Amino acid sequence: MKVYRTDKGLFVESEGNCYRIPLDSWDALVTHDDLHGLLHSVVAKGEHAAGIALATSGVTLLAPIESQEVWAAGVTYYRSRNARMEESKTAGGGSFYDRVYAAERPELFFKATPHRVVGPGGNVRIRRDANWSVPEPELTLLVNPGGEIIGYTVGNDMSSRDIEAENPLYLPQAKVYDGSCALGPCVLITPEPLPVSTKIHLEILRGEAVEFSGSTSLKELKRDPRSLVEFLFRDNSFPRGAFLMTGTGVVPPDAFTLQSGDRIRITIDAIGTLENVVIQGFQA
């Protein structure tokens, strides 16, 4: 079942109908000790929101986050390993991306606090001091305080590749800034892992033209999401749960950089499409 955070409260969607969830916050949903039971009983009671899809019901979808930290895994796809090795050659990074790709311990980094995250339709940002910026389309796990993966959403790990390429110690600046992360449009709540055939598709539109499109699938994800969560939760507590982005397997060619006005569309099977518009710096 898909859950949505909106300006009119929380909703669960089942077979095209939306039902209001009787919780007063997203944090209460993430920390609920029987979320599946709750959602099933909400749907069974059938108090749906006029029986229409949320998209056409006049509510505004919000980013599905309240107090959760957002973390990210890196170099979990061969495509990202190669792109990072190439970009960091002159900074002496020729071998450590290769090593982290093969190592038992994954690369995990802090990605965003809630106020840096934008929701569906919001503006993601490229840094004013970056000249090579890309979106990274990533399956993103929603994990409860007990370390269980309770759902999946679409994530965009916006990245300033020239900054991380100059020196890997600049990674936090390349990755963490206002508008550097997008999540949504919903969270697919399921106790089951997603099938490895699940496709992740990225499309970047400039005006009417498709400037870049590319796809991958979870078959290419080198690490088991549960093992990424296990490493994240080692000696770390998340009283309101956490999001964990699982890395990118789609990297545009090196000549590509985002521009203000570009529209980024990321679609993951069974979850949906997250669409955002790019702005640079702090223009309205």
Query: Among Mg ion, ligand DO4, none, what does residue 107 contact (CB within 5–8 Å per kind)?
Result: ligand DO4
Pick the closer one to ligand DO4 by CB: 6 or 160. Answer: 160
264: Cα within 13 Å, side-chain hemisphere: 35
Pick the closer one to ligand DO4 by CB: 138 or 262. Answer: 138
Nearest residue to ligand DO4, by Cβ distance, number only: 74
Pick the closer one to ligand DO4 by CB: 12 or 245. Answer: 245
CA distances from 181 to 74, 138, 186 (A): 15, 11, 15
Quote the strand ranges of 62-177, DSSP E. Answer: 69-74, 107-112, 117-118, 123-126, 133-134, 137-143, 149-157, 159-160
Residues 123 and 280: their CA atoms lie apart, in Å, by: 9
Determine contact, residues 258/125, Cβ cutoff 8 Å. no
Q: Contacting Mg ion (CB under 5 A), which of 13, 107, 136, 203? A: 136
- Size of interface with Mg ion, in residues (CB under 5 A): 3
Residues engaged in binding ligand DO4 (CB under 6 A):
72, 74-75, 80, 84, 107, 136, 157, 164, 171, 247-248
Q: Which of residues 243-262 bind Mg ion (CB under 5 A)?
A: 248
* Closest approach of ligand DO4 to the CB of residue 96, in Å: 9
Q: Which residues pair with 9 in a beta bridge?
A: 6
Pick the closer one to Mg ion by CB: 157 or 262. Answer: 157
The contacts of residue 272 (CB under 8 Å, 6+ apart) are 2, 154, 185, 186
Could you say whether residue 157 binds Mg ion (CB under 5 A)? yes
Selected range binding Mg ion among 152-160, 163-171, 178-186, 200-208, rule: CB under 5 A: 152-160
Could you say whether residue 107 binds Mg ion (CB under 5 A)? no
* Closest approach of Mg ion to the CB of residue 175, in Å: 8
What number of other Cβ atoms are within 10 A of residue 282's Cβ?
9
CA distances from 273 to 135, 154, 187 (A): 14, 7, 11
Query: Among Mg ion, ligand DO4, none, what does residue 252 contact (CB within 5–8 Å per kind)?
Result: none
Selected range binding Mg ion among 127-135, 157-165, 219-227, 269-277, rule: CB under 5 A: 157-165
Determine contact, residues 149/143, Cβ cutoff 8 Å. yes
Query: Among ligand DO4, Mg ion, none, what does residue 28 contact (CB within 5–8 Å per kind)?
Result: none
Pick the closer one to ligand DO4 by CB: 144 or 156. Answer: 156
CA distances from 258 to 81, 86, 131, 133, 253 (A): 21, 19, 9, 5, 12
* Closest approach of Mg ion to the CB of residue 249, in Å: 10
Write out the two tokens for 228.
Answer: 């990424």
Pick the closer one to ligand DO4 by CB: 96 or 233. Answer: 96
Pick the closer one to Mg ion by CB: 144 or 248. Answer: 248
Query: Among ligand DO4, Mg ion, none, what does residue 75 contact (CB within 5–8 Å per kind)?
Result: ligand DO4
Pairing assessment for the beta strands 272-280 and 123-126 based on DSSP bridges:
parallel
Length of the chain counted residue by residue: 284
Interface positions with Mg ion (CB under 5 A): 136, 157, 248
